[in-house]
Amino acid sequence: MSAITENQEKCGWIKFSENKLISLEKKIFEVLQTAYKGWHVLIDHKPNVKAKIWTIAMNTESKNTPLVLLHGFGAGVGFWCLNLDSLAANRPVYAIDILGRFGRSSRPEFSNDGLEAEQEFIESIEKWRKEVKLEQFILLGHSLGGYLATSYTISYPNQVKHLILADPWGFVERPSDFNPPLWMKTLGIVLYPFTAFNPLATVRAAGPFGPWIVKKMRSDISHKYAGRLENHEIITDYIYQCNSQKPTGETAFHKMIKGFGWAKNPMLNRIHKLDNRVPITIMNGSHSWMDKTVGKKLREMRQNSYVRLEVIKDAGHHVHADNPESFNEIVVDVCNFAESNKSNVLVIPENESIQEEEQEVVTETQIATS
């Protein structure tokens, strides 16, 4: 054991521990009432480069259309702990730790080009799909996961029976007149030496203070699980362990953003490439900081397609954790709807109306654990 490691242990801090992450994930999943299995799916990331994608699966015996979950930035499969039981009641559910990013999946190197890196993420999902032998499935992505889910569906529309976007990131252009508030400019200057490399570099650079920073900065997330987990603060420990490893996927993500967290290649600019037969449901939190005009813009741009808009009351960006009951109810309803359609060719009645809540438009300006 090195002297550094010994000193870290003496002060009660180790930057990353695989065993600690495994233990935290198991502790989080103690809330589940449904049996689950977890394993690493081996894929070929690049020629002569193998990679492992950590996978959680439930109710795989069901013959109904599977649901696949993609988490947001800085997260992992543990973030779905309040949703898995309900979502897997009548169908198979698969949740993965996105390759290179967070959680228990491998950290292989990605391209330095933003578009190429994005496609490498997409290809890793497709290779995973082939390995677990899924045909058509319902794909749900939260935040950054929604961006990747949409990109995947553009590339592989025949695999996706219904696309569900939960408060997705990366859809709109940065406004030409965007002027960030003073506090954001100040924070950007202070953190630039770190964030010029990776969004979460500050946490890793803080050494033994990293876990404390996560607890202080992301206590809002752990509080979402209060009263549901025996110890909700375990969530911030989980976040730290997910993000204290080699940040290859995070580095790739950094190549995909510009400014204060805007996508270099916004999804609305290429949504026309998505097959019109693929139905979309988009959910926003009533108090989310994300741009809530995305759903309406999607509907305007896909007038010959099915687009369902939902606003989850009393929810912010983390719609799945802020109001899990409403989130689960909507997702189950969407999955049942997808199940009732034998193909992706949907006829939308002329008198169909989907209730929408008018919400204040808030721009996408935050990059944080999502």
pLDDT digits (tens, 9 = 90+) for 184-229: 444 443 444 434 444 444 544 444 444 544 454 555 676 788 888 8
Spell out the residues 6+ positions from residue 99 whose beta carbon is closer than 8 angstroms to its own. 43, 45, 51, 53, 105, 106, 108, 121, 124, 249
Count CA atoms within 13 Å of residue 369 on its CB side. 29
User: What does the alpha-carbon distance between residue 66 and residue 279 come to, in Å, rounded to a whole number?
Assistant: 16
Strands 262-263 and 280-285: unpaired
Q: Which residues, 6 or more positions from 113, have their beta carbon under 8 angstroms from its beta carbon? A: 255
Closest to 222 (Cα-Cα) out of 230, 232, 231 = 232
**Mean pLDDT confidence for 58-81:** 95
CB-based burial of residue 30 (10 Å sphere; 0-12 exposed, 13-18 middle, 19+ buried)? exposed
The end-to-end CA distance of the chain, in Å, is 35
- Among 5-14, 98-107, 165-174, 228-237, which is the least confidently predicted range? 5-14
pLDDT over 70 at 250, yes or no? no
Q: Does position 77 have pLDDT exceeding 60, yes or no?
A: yes
Concatenating the DSSP letter of every residue in 255-315 gives HTEETTTEESS-GGGTGGGS-TTS-EEEEEETT-SS-TTHHHHHHHHTTTS-EEEEEETT-
| CA–CA distance, 305 with 215 (Å, rounded to integer) | 43
Residue 45 contacts residue 120 (beta carbons within 8 Å): yes
pLDDT digits (tens, 9 = 90+) for 304-341: 999 999 999 999 999 999 999 999 999 999 999 999 97
Angstrom CA distances, 162 to 26, 93, 280, stand at 30, 14, 6
Residue 55's H or E segment, with its range, is strand 49-58
Rg, C-alpha atoms of the chain: 20
Q: CA torsion 45→51→56→62, rounded to 10°?
A: 50
Q: Is the pLDDT of residue 299 over 80?
A: yes
Flag whether pLDDT at 369 surpasses 70.
no
In the predicted structure, residue 159 carries a pLDDT above the cut 50: yes
Predicted pLDDT at 46: 86
The Cα–Cα gap between 80 and 240 comes to 17
Predicted pLDDT at 365: 32
Answer yes or no: pTM beyond 0.85. no
Percentage of residues in the chain having pLDDT higher than 90: 55
pLDDT digits (tens, 9 = 90+) for 347-361: 443 334 333 433 333
For 4, 39, 145, the CA distances from 296, given in Å and listed in that order, are 54, 39, 20
Q: Token pair for residue 311?
A: 């606003």
CA atoms within 13 A on the CB side of 341: 21
In this structure, whether the domain defined by 15-340 belongs to CATH 3.40.50.1820 is answered with yes
What is the C-alpha separation between 230 and 293, in angstroms, rounded? 37
Cβ contacts of residue 79 below 8 Å, gap of 6+? 71, 72, 142, 320, 321
For residue 6, what pLDDT is reported?
36
